[in-house]
């Protein structure tokens, strides 16, 4: 299937509000959210990134044993959204961890670690 034949929908506040629901009350979100973002395209100016595989992580220890620990030394790398934007309470951040850069998509209740992606460009370099 060609990317140009695929219909994409821009992320909305209503979708972000659904994603930000509590994982204890809605445990199915742990599985639904990565499926929602698989195949998504993140645009930044003329650059684009196609997301293939994402790993979900809860914000709290009670939700997920692999929750994002908040330390003073890494506060600038947290994936927790600091303010609401046009898509709602969501942020993207590139984090330096284990001698590599990792892309995370952060929500109020969870974050997604992008484990497989593809840069989309009309010019090959």
Summarised one tens digit per residue, pLDDT across range 63-117 is 654 555 555 544 445 778 889 999 999 999 988 877 888 899 999 888 899 999 9
- Please list, in sequence order, all residues whose beta carbon lies within 8 angstroms of the beta carbon of residue 35, skipping any fewer than 6 positions away: none
CA dihedral 108, 88, 33, 91 (to 10 degrees): -70
Q: In what order do the strands lie in the sheet with 100-107?
A: 41-44, 47-58, 110-120, 100-107, 90-97
Q: What does pTM read for this prediction? A: 0.79
């Amino acid at each position: 299937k060609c990317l140009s034949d695929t219909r994409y929908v821009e992320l909305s506040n209503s979708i972000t509000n659904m994603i930000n629901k509590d994982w204890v009350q809605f445990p199915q979100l742990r599985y639904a959210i990565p499926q929602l973002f698989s195949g998504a395209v993140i645009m930044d100016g003329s650059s684009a990134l196609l997301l293939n595989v994402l790993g979900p992580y809860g914000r709290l220890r009670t939700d997920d044993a692999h929750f994002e620990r908040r330390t003073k030394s890494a506060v600038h790398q947290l994936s927790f959204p600091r303010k609401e934007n046009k898509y709602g309470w969501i942020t993207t951040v590139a984090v330096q961890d284990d001698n590599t850069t990792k892309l995370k998509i952060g929500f109020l209740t969870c974050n997604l670690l992008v484990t497989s992606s593809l840069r989309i460009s009309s010019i090959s370099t």
